[in-house]
Amino acid sequence: GDSVTQMEGPVTLSEEAFLTINCTYTATGYPSLFWYVQYPGEGLQLLLKATKADDKGSNKGFEATYRKETTSFHLEKGSVQVSDSAVYFCALSDPTSGTYKYIFGTGTRLKVLA
Amino acid sequence: DSGVTQTPKHLITATGQRVTLRCSPRSGDLSVYWYQQSLDQGLQFLIQYYNGEERAKGNILERFSAQQFPDLHSELNLSSLELGDSALYFCASSVGALAGKETQYFGPGTRLLVL
């Protein structure tokens, strides 16, 4: 079945460092891919998404490119801030499978130090 | 603020009891989704309703049930509660039924503690 694998956390970086959080997926069809962010004590918020191969999603300085050949959707940011400290979830949804379900990765906690 | 509201924010109950969690979607959204977030299982999709009808089912236990009412709010009923049901329960909503193409907006969650 469909699945999402994220890198284990926590990831601890200094402010202004470069961020990469790896995400790979397995899907039978042509999924859409998402990154959600969860700040402490809050629900999840959509950060960015890509609905087809080679699409690049971007928002708030974060980027991720849908790579079909490597089945990956890695999240990157050039210069992180303390306010980026949160848990980041990679997710997929594969309407072609007929289930319309979202499948989330386990989440990666990011901690940015001043 | 996502526009999705959930009540109550916190719930403490005992094993064997039954609770009801409530969710009001964003104005105009027809789909409601329920998720369970626990430390050992991560974020698990439970069930989706679209305009009052069940649309998709995930890893929802038989002890759990949900419904969506004509005013589009939804309730998740959890019965015969066990310690392992302690978790954060999130509701999300979207405009239409196709989860794959649409953004889901999440509520702040209900934290359930079963003692």
Mutate to test the interface with A, among B45, B53, B91, B111 (most CBs of A within 10 A): B45
Return the pLDDT at A99: 59
Using CA atoms, how far apart are residues B106 and B93, in angstroms rounded to an integer? Answer: 7
Return the pLDDT at A77: 98
Residue among A43, A95, A104 minimizing CB distance to B100? A95
Q: Residue A43: pLDDT band by 50, 70, 90 thresholds?
A: confident
Tokens of B30: 């027809």
Return the pLDDT at A96: 66
The string of DSSP codes covering chain A is --EEEE--S-EEEETT--EEE-EEEE-SS--EEEEEEE-TTS-EEEEEEE-STT-EEEETTEEEE-BTTTTB--EEESS--GGG-EEEEEEEE-GGGT---EEE---EEEEEE-
Look at A45 and B2 and tell me if their CB atoms are within 8 Å.
yes
Chain B 39-78, residues with CB within 8 Å of chain A CB atoms: 42-43, 45, 48, 55-56, 58
Q: Residue B97: pLDDT band by 50, 70, 90 thresholds?
A: confident
SS3 content of chain B, % helix, strand, coil (to 5): 5, 50, 45
Q: Could you tell me which of A70, A84, A55 has the C-alpha nearest to residue A23?
A: A70
- pLDDT above 90 for A49: yes
Look at A102 and B104 and tell me if their CB atoms are within 8 Å.
yes
The Cβ-side half-sphere exposure at B42, using a 13 Å CA radius, reads 20
Using CA atoms, how far apart are residues A39 and A90, in angstroms rounded to an integer? Answer: 15
Q: Alpha-carbon dihedral of residues A72, A77, A82, A86, nearest 10 degrees?
A: -20
